[in-house]
Amino acid sequence: MIVLGCDHGGYDLMQEVKKHLDEKGLDYLDLGTDSGEVSVDYPDYAHRVVKAILDGTCDRGILICGTGIGISMAANRFKGIRAALCTDCYMAEKAREHNDANILAMGGRVLGSGTALKIVDTFLETPFSEGERHKRRIAKIDDTEL
Ligand code: RB5
């Protein structure tokens, strides 16, 4: 199951993403926001999505704010979360193959919907490589104490 969260800056693109997932017959849990007109705080929606992944309700997430920057920063504060801000399909592919990203972040004021939906497909369809060097590097993200 895919969990979705956005702020007002990501609302319009998220509606396109939802339509696309509907057309593909993919289930999702939409945790808001519910309008592009009301200004909200992107960390609140990042936190909802993070919670749904960390408690096991969902295994992948998509977060969208105006740039994708703030909402990915907020999500990446949490151990076990690997949110990748992607602006093209190459980034989405490597985010899965190398980083085992569990959240895709995008900027609703940055990307056109054509590019964004291809990024979504790449993110959802690309498996983690299972490479040992990638597992080692991912483990260091969560396990290193400075
Ligand atoms: C909201 O205006 C905007 O700051 C937000 O959507 C996002 O771009 C933050 O990183």
Which tens digit of pLDDT belongs to each residue from 59-99? 999 999 999 999 999 999 999 999 999 999 999 999 999 99
Q: Point out the ligand 1 atom lying closest to the alpha carbon of residue 8.
A: 6
User: β-pairing, 60-65 with 83-85?
Assistant: unpaired
CA 74 to each of CA 102, 108, 126: distance values in angstroms, whole numbers, following the listed order = 14, 17, 24
For residue 49, give the H/E element and its range.
Answer: helix 42-54
Per-residue pLDDT at 31: 98
pTM (2 d.p.): 0.98
DSSP classification of residue 9: G
Q: Is the CB of 5 under 6 A from ligand 1?
A: no
Q: Point out the ligand 1 atom lying closest to the alpha carbon of residue 69.
A: 10
Q: Which two tokens stand for residue 17?
A: 């993403």
The residue whose C-alpha atom lies closest to atom 8 belonging to ligand 1 is 66
Distance in Å, CA 63 to ligand 1 centroid? 12
Beta bridge partners of 65: 107
In the chain, pLDDT over 90 holds for what percent of residues?
Answer: 100
What are the φ and ψ backbone dihedral angles of 33, each rounded to 5 degrees?
-75, 170
Please say whether the beta carbons of 95 and 2 come within 8 A: no
**Nearest in space to 1 (alpha carbons), one of 124, 84, 133, 104:** 124
Average pLDDT, stretch 17-34? 98
CA 87 to each of CA 115, 116, 117: distance values in angstroms, whole numbers, following the listed order = 8, 8, 11
pLDDT bucket at 104, cuts 50 / 70 / 90:
very high
Instruction: Report the length, in residues, of the chain.
Output: 146
